[in-house]
Amino acid sequence: MVQLQSRNFRFGGVESEPEGDMELWVGRWTMFLQLVLVVALVIAVGLLVAIVVETFRRRFSHAHLEARPTFEDPNSLKPVRCPCVNDPAEKYISLIIPAFNEEHRLPAALDETMNYLQQRSKKDPSFSYEVIVIDDGSKDGTKRVAFDFVRKYKVDNIRVILQRKNQGEGEAIRKGMLHSRGQLLLMLDADGATKVDDLEKLEKQIFAVAKTKSGSSEGIEDIPIVAFGSRAHLEKKALATRKWYRNFLMKGFHVVVLLAAGPGVRDTQCGFKMFTRAAARKLFTNIRLKRWCFDVELVYLCKIFKIPIIEISVNWSEIPGSKINPLSILNMLWELAIMSLGYRIGIWNINTQES
């Protein structure tokens, strides 16, 4: 009997692999795919558990009216009592500016803002204002820059809230809104991407809606209305100038937002939004998301409270130094998943108390 020394056979000069080796190869790939599926399943289950745990952890976080912090007056070094959104309004308008490592971009934005506010107050003696800068745990000279402006314009006109560690833009704005004094409250970015005088567009439309709802624009602070600055009219230009991956992420995010909050607002992420005091009281005592997606939660809460949202085109320019990156999208998806679970199955209760 002839013993074959080779594992392969030749038929007509063509080498053929034994059936056993093919079965071994298929078996190994099957085991690999099974392992991949098991790992994916474990990750998916772990992620789902993490989302559920985090959703329950934030269940009662609508009780945001914690002990009031104090502002520090850098001129007298005396503490200044922090107001509350439930108190009667003391100013016509409050401008809330979140700042994280904005040492270089903040000065120009604050100069433009303070110049506009001072000029308007000279023309209209009834126009009163305050600017609140929330230093969201910055590691650079943001705090120093902000306090330089307080020294120049006095603590009654510009104040600084310090957060010991970075908690996110949403948390910074929440803190500023809850401790402001205005009848109208405007959030705007520290980079000055939107011109501050565009607030008049939002202001005008809020008064128009208030007049249709109550027959008068008096008592504007007591009528819940929200105005969103929008860059939707600039979308074609943005698509042409931005990098492809940012356009891809933006389009994908818009789809996710539509699924999470529903239709009605074309641009949820523009950092230029105005609230009446009544609207801010309802929304910011309930908001739970702390970072990029808090804007989407605002839309969702407005629908729950039936607060009208006006979307208004504003002038906007992209300023170098954006902190949004692909990892930010993952955080956005995380927060949207938490929000959807929290509200849609009733884990998060809505606080309807206004005092």
Per-residue pLDDT of the chain (355 residues; tens, 9 = 90+): 444 444 454 444 445 556 667 777 877 888 888 888 888 889 888 888 888 888 888 887 655 545 566 787 888 878 888 899 999 999 999 999 999 999 999 999 999 999 999 999 999 999 999 999 999 999 999 999 999 999 999 999 999 998 888 999 999 999 999 999 999 999 999 888 889 999 999 999 999 999 888 776 678 999 999 999 988 766 555 544 555 556 666 666 666 666 666 666 778 778 899 999 999 999 999 999 988 789 889 999 999 999 999 999 898 776 665 656 666 677 778 888 898 888 888 888 887 765 4
Decide if 149 contacts 74 (C-beta within 8 A): no
Sign of CA dihedral 217, 221, 226, 231: positive
Q: pTM, whole model, 2 decimals?
A: 0.81
Which residues are registered as beta bridge partners of 23? none
In the block, tokens 């949004």 appear at 324
- Residue 51 sits at φ, ψ, to 5 deg, of -65, -45
Decide if 291 contacts 331 (C-beta within 8 A): yes
Measured CA distances, 137 to 78, 100, 141, 161, 187 (Å): 22, 7, 11, 10, 18
CA atoms in the 13 A half-sphere facing the CB of 139 = 1
CA atoms in the 13 A half-sphere facing the CB of 148 = 11
